[in-house]
Structure 1
Amino acid sequence: MPTIELRTYQQRVIDQLVNYLDNNSIHIVAPPGSGKTILGITIIDKIQRKTLILVPSLLLKKQWIDTIQEYYPQWEISENLLQPAQITITTYQDLLGKGKEWKHYFEEYGINFLVLDESHHLKKRWSDLLLHLREHANDLQTLALTATPPFDANQKEWKNYIRLTGAIDEEISVSELIKEEVLAPYHDYIYLVPVTKEAQGQFSDFLENQNQIVAKLCCNQEVTDYLLAQEFIQQPLNCTTFIYKNFDVYLSCLFYLNEQHYQIGRDHWKVLGTKRKKFEIPQQTRNSIIDLYQYLYHANPRLNIFNYLSKAGWLYNDKLRLFPNFEGTNQANIPLVKEAIQHIVIKEESYLGSMLRGVLLFDHIKKDVLDGKENYLEYGVAPAFLDFKDLLKPETSLAAICGEFLIISQEVYQNYFINYSAFQKEKNLANYVYLTMTDKNQSSLLSLTTQLLDSGILNLLIGTVSLLGEGWNCPSINTIIMGNAAGSYVQTQQIRGRGLRKDGKRKLTNIWHIGVIYPNIPLAEQPSFASIFKRLSFIEGLNLLTVPLVSTGSERFELPDIPDIQAISGYTQHNLFQAKEREKYFALWSDALKQGTRLAMPLFIRNQSAEKELDVKTTTFKNRKEKSLNFFQSLLQGNLAFYFKEQKKRRLWRNSCRIQQKVVQTIYQLLINEGLLSEKIPLTIKWDETVFSCEVTASYHQEKLFNNLVSETLGEIENPRYLLKIKHAYFAVPARYSKNKKDAQSFLAEIQKSYSSAEIFYSKNLAGRKHLINARLNTLINPDNLEIIEQKIWH
């Protein structure tokens, strides 16, 4: 009987196991190819409990059974939920089919360890059922295994996911596996596709229409009259309970009325707890408009403005849809996107020749074009195949595969698929044959096609994400082109993972993302590219802004801030040129990984007005702005006012950093007092003129706990139970230390070792609510709000 020999990173997880069970859950993130099944079986062996393993597919079910039988043949295994054994293995679908009537299933059958494999699938139906079952189970421990937590899920889905799996306890990074030569290095490229003039016109019309609607929302006599009649506007001192409970609504009303040139009376300043000269009412914002009209619709949906919003499409099915996303058609852009993909493939073919092992992925098949339908505006597997069969060099072997068919050349068919029935469509397929995919032959056809791509008989395989995405393995892939819509971070990472497998050679995989972009629009405001850009910021990869480094963060892609046509073209051409430098990037990965031993998670806190640029030597952000002028330079240029203003800002920032340092040190010390951190774990705090950073060098579990507490304390104040005041600055007492007055006092006592005048306030009574309002107003007054960024950096 073979014994399991754990790799270094797997052993690290096992060594930390006791620390993960403080909340009866273990949640491990590990890339494809890292051995999650082996890790899971080892943990089951350590836990020694009656276990149910849930998987999303029959293929993974077989993988678990085969692995257990290889290493632990003595374990009794069942595949039947109604007849569970020591280890029971089945699919999520099987459990779902049994329904909620099984609410005491775990207790009834004595199951007290639940393994959730590929746990990123646990959204919506599956998570609802499992949460229902878990709520009725006592003493149930869970193990969640995934390569791709659903980071960009909506708030409700993410909350349910974490309720079920627990917070992430350990992340085995891709960088770590590349360093240990378990996975292959890679480089992500973005091909920017500027939209057509037609699409630009649609977006311009959308923005113009939105501006017209917003103008009506910002200034409407009916709304003004309605607000002026409200008691909390007329008699604010008599309505403090309502105001303090609905402070965002109250502020949005003041912002609105101020812009209608109504004076804010003395009673309002008393409610706000500040003086007129100290506070200038801000302009309306997108959020304040949403707060105002959500309140108005709840209070009086018969206002005429809502008829207008209904006709404008901003009110639908009795639900406000304020600031809806742009939903312009992308069909006009299809030829441009197809041309971009062709450009990428032709370049990769010229760079790699017979060594090309490429996969091009789509969401749709569009089979009709094989029967003669016009191809120009069709986008999917079949249209791409028809384009490439005449575009590639004769020696480049092409195939297309999906759940309905496999298309291969006559030569490949004769040599490898002769036992499968096939037919030829003379009009469009020429020297290719069409094999119909069925339930019976799908597995063998896919397996043989994969082998041919892996061995180089095939050079480019066009397919669907549903078939060639999660779970598909072809180690020799060195080029991935994501022609799909990449609907989520999970899907993006699953597809990228197809190219990370090692094939025993010196391989580097180029991964291409297609970004449809509207010229001259800031990246954050792009209607389609902004979501892709956000997902890419979660992905670790080479950061070459200064020295070679591996990090997360969107800045490593070095995209133009406001992309005009010239910048778009230059950026894409540069990427196409760099794509041939595989040896160079392979060496850069090696250099970057030599810089450290772990993927750390420092927190960066900076003024939002500062431009982001990572200084990799100090792992802090630095400002791209020109060096400030000194006193004499300012005097000579007649700009002393600006000089003194900048000096004041620097002084305030330094004072802020000193307070932030003490707050961070307090959190660090409290975690030591609880035994959650050791005094041997170092705390590093740095700051410069624009950025404050802090980091503990510990396990993932410990670093994440520390970062969450720091972010909660130093971040934007919303509605904490207790408030901390140091000098004129307010902070939220984190929930961990504000469950009751005793905990909050312990937090304060630690702070007072550095700031004896520090105070805490309970925000749920009247006096405390006034301090909470003060804290919120300070945020509004300060134009340089802080932004907290957790960035993963290999060092």
Structure 2
Amino acid sequence: MSITIANLDFLFDWRPYQAKVLENFSIHINDNHFHIVAPPGSGKTILGIEIVKRIGKKTLVLAPTLTIRNQWEDRLQNFFTTDCNFTQISFDIKHPSDITFSTYQALHSFYKSFETKEAYYNFFKKHQIEVLLLDEAHHLKNAWWKCLFDLKEQHLQTVVALTATPPYDSENAEIQKYFKLCGEIDDEIVVPDLVKEHNLCPHQDVVFLSKPEDQEINFITHFRLKIAEFVADILNDTEFISFLKQHRFYAKTEENLEEIYKDTDFFSSLLIFLHEAKETIPFEKLEVLGFDTNETIEFPSITNEWIQILFQYLLVTDRNNLIEHEAYLDILEKRLRKLAVFSKNKVNLVGNDLLYKSLSNSPSKLKSITTIVQQEQHNLQDDLRCVILSDYIRKEYLNCSHSEIKEIKKLGVVPIFHHVRTALKNKNNVAVLTGSLVIIHSSTIAKLGLIDAIDNYNYTPLKSDTEFVILSNTNAAKRTIVETITQLFELGHIKVLVGTQSLLGEGWDAPSINSLILASVVGSFVTSNQMRGRAIRVDRKNPNKVGLIWHLACIDTSDESGGRDFEILARRFNAFLGISNDDEAIISNGIERLHLPSNFIDEDIQQQNNKTLELSKNRNLIAQRWKSAISNGKGIVKELTFYTKRNKQFPKQKRVYYQDIVKYTIGEIIIGLSFFIPEFIIRNLNILLHKGVVYFLFALLSTLGLTFGYKIYKSAQLYAYFGLIHKKIDKMATAVLKSLYTLNHVNTPLNEIKIETNLLAMGNVSCTIHGANRYESSLFIKALNELLQPIDNPKYLLIKSNWFRRKLKLHHFFPVPEIFGVRKKECQVFHSNWNKYLGSSKLVYTRTIEGRKLLLKARLFHIHNVNNKLTKKNIIWK
């Protein structure tokens, strides 16, 4: 006898973290969205089926592949029924049932089969399919997104989205589209929960650094010199300066205010460039932005980023409005193309893409890989199960001679294979597995016979090393070649496996992996996290498994921050939650937890690599640190870090961890006065005796003004900028929380919620919220983050200015967070709380002409203002 959706019943006990997600489900689904992030191994599919059951409506479940699609039906029958007797299912989208399992590609093909969109919508209405469940939602491509989003909007679908990794590093437009379809993240299952429940193994991310080779260093240096020469030339190019001054934004500013307010970045870059070129900016150009005659505008120095914005607008965005200058624009375009900084309608004077391509594919990484494999072979001996993932096969290097291997300048499966096999003393256990190339050692052939008949496979000796053979299977083979090689790897007959991330990065399952080297550079943030997931799964045959994930970065030694390759790696670490290298282990996201050098010089790179290799030797210590960190915390909290001066340390004090620039400056004045005043009295006692108290005080104040006046002025200015900055942020956080509570975005009683604000090293500030649920915490951190970000294009703006600030030429502009800016009523609630905790301010609606003027003024202040800071969202187990 079959059962209905409502009668599906989970046969086992929910894991604690799963139960917590389901506990909050009824609140999250109120907006017809349920968006959950959970790593591989957390039981996303099981949760998805339970959610479908609780919604109780006809559902279309979409997966990226047929394999994953089939897993849904398998989990439903085996975890929710006793006799696999749920029959209201379909795998054919054309003939749906209560639950229909399909793929994104199949839905898109189905969508295109309709003559009109209305017919497509009507199909779902006719069959009463009201729920869309999106599995591995990060796979959504643009075409797939369109047919899903239209359906959601027209048919008012409920959307349930499950993913291991939201596509945070996609283009901003793509990220917005993703969240527009899936909704904001409602809940998250995090790695510590899974390690605690022994569903994931203890692990550590390690970064191995390399230096560019001479050829790459020369390329980077030459590129930067070319750009520097171009910038110097263009700043002295009278024809270009004249051309800019003829632009309607500059020549007829007042007539084009509406357009200027829409393109503030370009107008800012125009003014900054002309100022750098020693042109006097007439005050009327600034007056329209709301500046007064007594205000001094401190223009920032020109940077490649500003010149990039300038040329992007002239050569692409605004080109249709500059037809009469087309001949001159064509000359400018050719100059940029000659510099290789203009391609596909994009100006890139920073050279990010060009330099990243050079560093990310650096052959220096080949040496890094061999060093890592040698170390891991020494560390783990017979237990080693190492996988190296790359993007390209590079078959052209298949038959390289030994001497030619050293000359390979490209990263890929075959170059890695050659470097590893020639570097290892025991190369018998090395193999290659890709979709079109499989290589094993000849000694492994006999082991293959234990899994499948040897006659089912063909062998061709590898010309460059006849000890290895290229393997292919015949039609008679019982298994796919991927299954066979995977089994050989699991059994330990292969210990080092080199493959492509496209084949082995997602969906491939080999629980024995204990060392993963990510040599993929094409893979996105999503792909990186999926690949990383291969190494952190538990191995039931090895309960003491500890996984290491090796990340490679080629450092631009001319850039103290490490360059673009390291920057992208650091950004991806924001999604990796793991153990820190602190004395007291904590679990958090971000690359900061590894304590890598803050400035990259040659000595740092080698020293850091030695530390990393040393750390890899003691996997037991990593497991102990996970156990200790988990026991010291209760759950995940969201934290926002506010950076005051990222690269400039404040003056050193005895307590370096509690540095405060304001306290330091005031303290310096007090100490100075304590020495100065007694000495002045002793030296000028005769003035007091002969000329009287009034004359003496006049002399004292005059000398004080000359000696300490500037310091007192700077101290007052710094205090107006910073105050006790962590205290200010604490008040901002309180205003945000109280507003969220008043507007019913937070339902947890306020007396159960605590805001913790701390002053960190280098003057940075952290703000953490305790006691709120994950959804409320996310709303709080998001709102506070928006409040502290540089001004972009908020609907409402807060302006904090008084007589004292005006005299010091200071203005504070703050964007009203989006959640409070939807309607004026909500905005006024936030404004009221702001005034209560931070003093009076003016609320400005920026969608009027006057509001746009103030918005642009605010943005100009934030260009050079000390308030132009960055924030970082952190996740910490506490």
Q: Partner residue of 2:275?
A: 258
How far has the Cα of 1:25 moved from its partner? 1.1
Is 1:17 the counterpart of 2:25? The answer is yes
User: CA 1:90–1:204 in 2, change beyond 3 Å: closer, same or farther?
Assistant: same
Q: Partner residue of 1:423?
A: 459
Residues 49 and 76 of structure 2 are in contact (CA less than 8 Å); yes or no, is this contact kept in structure 1? yes
Q: Partner residue of 2:786?
A: 712
Q: Partner residue of 1:694?
A: 767
Residues 462 and 470 of structure 2 are in contact (CA less than 8 Å); yes or no, is this contact kept in structure 1? no
- Residue in structure 2 matching 1:548, options 585, 600, 603: 585
SS in structure 2 opposite 1:18? Answer: helix
Amino acid at match of 2:741: I
User: CA 1:279–1:385 in 2, change beyond 3 Å: closer, same or farther?
Assistant: closer
How far has the Cα of 1:353 moved from its partner? 0.7
Write the distance in 2 (CA, Å) between the matches of 1:79 and 1:232: 59
- Residue in structure 2 matching 1:484, options 514, 520, 545: 520
Q: What pairs up with 1:647-726 in 2 under 5 angstroms?
A: 648-650=717-719, 652-654=721-723, 657-677=726-746, 678-680=748-750, 681-688=752-759, 690-697=763-770, 698-726=772-800
Q: What pairs up with 1:638-653 in 2 under 5 angstroms?
A: 645=714, 648-650=717-719, 652-653=721-722
How far has the Cα of 1:575 moved from its partner? 1.0
SS in structure 2 opposite 1:786? Answer: coil
Q: Partner residue of 1:187?
A: 204
Q: Partner residue of 1:536?
A: 573
- Consecutive unaligned residues of structure 1, counting only runs of 5 or more, are none
Residues 308 and 348 of structure 2 are in contact (CA less than 8 Å); yes or no, is this contact kept in structure 1? no
Residues 612 and 621 of structure 1 are in contact (CA less than 8 Å); yes or no, is this contact kept in structure 2? no
Residues 10 and 39 of structure 1 are in contact (CA less than 8 Å); yes or no, is this contact kept in structure 2? yes
The TM-score, its normalising length taken from structure 2, stands at 0.83
Write the distance in 2 (CA, Å) between the matches of 1:332 and 1:532: 10
Is 1:761 the counterpart of 2:831? The answer is no
How far has the Cα of 1:645 moved from its partner? 3.5
SS in structure 2 opposite 1:480? Answer: strand
Is 1:327 the counterpart of 2:354? The answer is yes
Is 1:353 the counterpart of 2:381? The answer is yes
- Residue in structure 2 matching 1:411, options 441, 446, 450: 446
Q: Partner residue of 1:97?
A: 109
Is 1:281 the counterpart of 2:299? The answer is yes
Is 1:160 the counterpart of 2:195? The answer is no
Write the distance in 2 (CA, Å) between the matches of 1:263 and 1:543: 52
Q: Partner residue of 1:558?
A: 595
Amino acid at match of 1:714: L
User: CA 1:688–1:576 in 2, change beyond 3 Å: closer, same or farther?
Assistant: closer
Write the distance in 1 (CA, Å) between the matches of 2:376 and 2:847: 62
Write the distance in 2 (CA, Å) between the matches of 1:177 and 1:347: 29
Amino acid at match of 2:278: H
Residues 486 and 492 of structure 1 are in contact (CA less than 8 Å); yes or no, is this contact kept in structure 2? no
User: CA 1:434–1:211 in 2, change beyond 3 Å: closer, same or farther?
Assistant: same
Residues 621 and 691 of structure 1 are in contact (CA less than 8 Å); yes or no, is this contact kept in structure 2? no
Amino acid at match of 1:722: Y
- Residue in structure 2 matching 1:309, options 333, 347, 361: 333
Residues 685 and 692 of structure 1 are in contact (CA less than 8 Å); yes or no, is this contact kept in structure 2? no
How far has the Cα of 1:405 moved from its partner? 4.2
Amino acid at match of 1:131: F
How far has the Cα of 1:159 moved from its partner? 1.3
Is 1:462 the counterpart of 2:498? The answer is yes
Q: Partner residue of 1:523?
A: 561
User: CA 1:147–1:741 in 2, change beyond 3 Å: closer, same or farther?
Assistant: closer
Q: Partner residue of 2:138?
A: 120
Residues 183 and 500 of structure 1 are in contact (CA less than 8 Å); yes or no, is this contact kept in structure 2? yes
- Consecutive unaligned residues of structure 2, counting only runs of 5 or more, are 1-8, 677-705, 802-810
Write the distance in 1 (CA, Å) between the matches of 2:719 and 2:629: 34
Write the distance in 2 (CA, Å) between the matches of 1:562 and 1:182: 38
How far has the Cα of 1:316 moved from its partner? 4.5
How far has the Cα of 1:790 moved from its partner? 1.0
SS in structure 1 opposite 2:97? Answer: coil
- Residue in structure 1 matching 2:37, options 5, 9, 29: 29
Aligned-residue Cα RMSD (Å) equals 3.3
Write the distance in 2 (CA, Å) between the matches of 1:35 and 1:670: 36
Residues 605 and 789 of structure 1 are in contact (CA less than 8 Å); yes or no, is this contact kept in structure 2? yes
**Greater helix proportion:** 2
How far has the Cα of 1:755 moved from its partner? 5.8
How far has the Cα of 1:767 moved from its partner? 3.4
- Residue in structure 1 matching 2:817, options 730, 734, 743: 734
User: CA 1:625–1:192 in 2, change beyond 3 Å: closer, same or farther?
Assistant: farther
Q: Partner residue of 1:224?
A: 241
Amino acid at match of 1:693: S
More deviation, 583-592/387-396: 387-396
Q: Partner residue of 1:511?
A: 549
How far has the Cα of 1:385 moved from its partner? 3.5
Q: What pairs up with 1:9-158 in 2 under 5 angstroms?
A: 9-70=17-78, 71-72=80-81, 73-100=85-112, 101=114, 103-104=120-121, 105-138=123-156, 140-158=157-175
More deviation, 764-773/13-22: 764-773
Q: What pairs up with 1:432-471 in 2 under 5 angstroms?
A: 432-437=468-473, 444-471=480-507
SS in structure 2 opposite 1:528? Answer: helix
Write the distance in 1 (CA, Å) between the matches of 2:430 and 2:265: 59
- Residue in structure 1 matching 2:370, options 342, 348, 354: 342
Is 1:593 the counterpart of 2:601? The answer is no
SS in structure 1 opposite 2:207? Answer: strand
Residue by residue over 1:646-672, the C-alpha shift from the partner in whole angstroms, topping out at 9 and shown as x without a partner, is 575256422655554443222212222
User: CA 1:368–1:514 in 2, change beyond 3 Å: closer, same or farther?
Assistant: same
Residues 410 and 433 of structure 1 are in contact (CA less than 8 Å); yes or no, is this contact kept in structure 2? no
Amino acid at match of 1:682: I
How far has the Cα of 1:694 moved from its partner? 2.8
Write the distance in 2 (CA, Å) between the matches of 1:446 and 1:552: 34
SS in structure 2 opposite 1:130? Answer: helix
SS in structure 1 opposite 2:388? Answer: strand
How far has the Cα of 1:213 moved from its partner? 2.1
